[in-house]
Amino acid sequence: MAGAAADPADELAAEISVDLEPGDLVFKGASTALWTQLAAGWSVGDKRWGHVGIVISVPPDRASEAIVVHADTGTSGPAPGEEIGEVRAVPLSAYLGDVDQVGLFRLELDDTGTSRMIAYASAVAAAHTPFDRGYSLDSANNLYCTELVWRAMSEALGHDAIPQKSHRMGRTYVALSDISRHPLATEVRVIGRTADPNSNLSLAPETASVTQ
């Protein structure tokens, strides 16, 4: 009897886990879904990525999965049976369940900074902080994916990690490229379909709201 086919998400998680460290950033490819394509369209330069999360724990022996904190959009909610978006801590394979490309980035932080970043991400996940459907940086009471990472990085550094944020159509926001091309971020590994970091998506950003 033939064995069951391996889950692509499990395979991706196993492959990238070899290089993971706490505090790393894991990007989902822009081709994951329509909403990630739209999110990537608001980036400048590096348009490969449509979502990002923070690795908060990596088992030393890799016997269990790493945990990733991310601001999950949920579904349209809050109708019965629909999932309301919030910041969640999830196993790596669950986070990668819908992707065909993943990027691993590492921030140049000292141990204290990394600990502060992880503590912030863990706290907002434990608080079930709602997803920010208004995509506003005015308050930390609701968070979208790149806002979560920016605030965690700022907590690590003790100052605004991205003082020059993206600005378009009268809106200031944190783009995925603001993080992937941050001076402290190093691309460690990309797994899956290849993409030109300077490629343009067919969907113009002007056609959609800022979506992470």
Strand (E) or helix (H) holding 122: helix 111-126
pLDDT in tens, 34-70: 666 666 566 677 778 889 999 999 998 776 789 999 9
CA distance 54 to 102: 13
Tracing tokens 């990007």 back to the chain, one arrives at 27
Neighbours of 211 (CB within 10 A): 21
DSSP assignment of 147-167, as one string?
A: HHHHHHHHHHHTS-S-SS-EE
| Residue 107 C-beta-side C-alpha neighbours within 13 Å | 29
Per-residue pLDDT at 39: 62
Which residues 6+ apart lie within 8 Å of 65 measured at CB?
A: 13, 17, 59, 91, 92, 93
Domain ranges of the chain: 18-192
Residue 61 near residue 28, CB atoms below 8 Å: no
**103, amino acid identity:** G
Q: What is the pLDDT of residues 168-178, one digit of tens each?
A: 888 899 999 99
Q: How far apart are CA 77 and CA 130, in angstroms?
A: 12
| Residues of the chain with confidence (pLDDT) below 70 | 1-6, 32-43, 63, 75-83, 193-212
d(C-alpha 59, C-alpha 128), whole Å: 23
pLDDT of residue 37: 61
pLDDT of residue 103: 93
Contact 24, 185 (CB under 8 A): no
CATH superfamily of this structure's domain 18-192? endopeptidase domain like (from Nostoc punctiforme) (3.90.1720.10)
Angle 47-109-139 (CA atoms, 0-180°, nearest 5)?
Answer: 65
Burial of 114 (0-12, 13-18, 19+ CB in 10 A): middle
Burial per residue of 170-208, b for 16 or more beta-carbon CB atoms within 10 angstroms, e otherwise:
eeebbbbbbbbbbeebebeebbbeebebeeebeeebeee
Predicted pLDDT at 11: 83
Question: What pLDDT is attached to residue 60?
Answer: 85
Give CA–CA dist 133/103, Å, rounded: 25
